[in-house]
């Protein structure tokens, strides 16, 4: 039983003990479980290079193997209306969900993450990180 399943099991057990129906309190929704969101935006050195973009995306896809990564989204700018408040000059984005600060720290120090930085950091000229914790 991995950590996530173990916690779900413990939570379910606790709910059963207190007589709450599991179906009435879904435990996997953001409401029930606060998460740490790690959103990274990359500006490529060669933004016109499809090859560089694909290399970076392939590198990012390795990060999902890190055991503390609960959810991953790899994206590119969406073609929404370009209002003045919209920042759409980046090339690629990566959104990771963690359970807590420790999970994010494990990720930062993880060999898979270190390898990604080693393999791909020459591709970007700027990176910007937003870490937020659910309220």
- Note whether 15 binds a second copy by CB under 8 A: no
Angle, CA of 122, 128 and 104, to the nearest 5°: 95
Options 11-19, 43-51, 90-98, 113-121: segment touching a second copy (CB under 8 A): 90-98
Half-sphere exposure in the Cβ direction for 60 (13 Å, CA): 24
Query: How many chain residues interact with a second copy (CB under 8 A)?
Result: 41
Least Cβ distance, residue 29 to a second copy (angstroms): 8
H or E element in which residue 92 lies: strand 92-98
Least Cβ distance, residue 37 to a second copy (angstroms): 6
Longest CA pairwise span in the chain (Å):
58
Q: How far apart are CA 18 and CA 10, in angstroms?
A: 12
Footprint of a second copy (CB under 8 A) = 30, 35-39, 41, 57, 71-81, 83, 85-88, 90, 92-93, 95, 101, 104-105, 108, 127-135
């Amino acid at each position: 039983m991995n950590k996530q399943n173990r916690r779900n099991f413990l939570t379910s057990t606790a709910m059963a003990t207190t007589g709450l129906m599991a179906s009435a309190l879904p435990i996997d929704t953001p409401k029930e479980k606060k998460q740490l969101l790690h959103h990274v935006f990359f500006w490529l050195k060669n933004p016109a290079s499809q090859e560089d973009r694909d290399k970076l995306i392939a590198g990012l896809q390795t990060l999902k193997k890190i055991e503390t990564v609960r959810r991953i989204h790899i994206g590119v700018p969406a073609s929404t209306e370009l209002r003045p408040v919209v920042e759409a000059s980046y090339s690629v984005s990566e959104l990771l969900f963690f359970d807590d600060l420790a999970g994010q720290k494990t990720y930062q120090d993880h060999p898979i993450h270190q390898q990604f930085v080693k393999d791909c950091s020459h591709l970007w000229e700027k990176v910007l990180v937003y870490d937020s914790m659910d309220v």
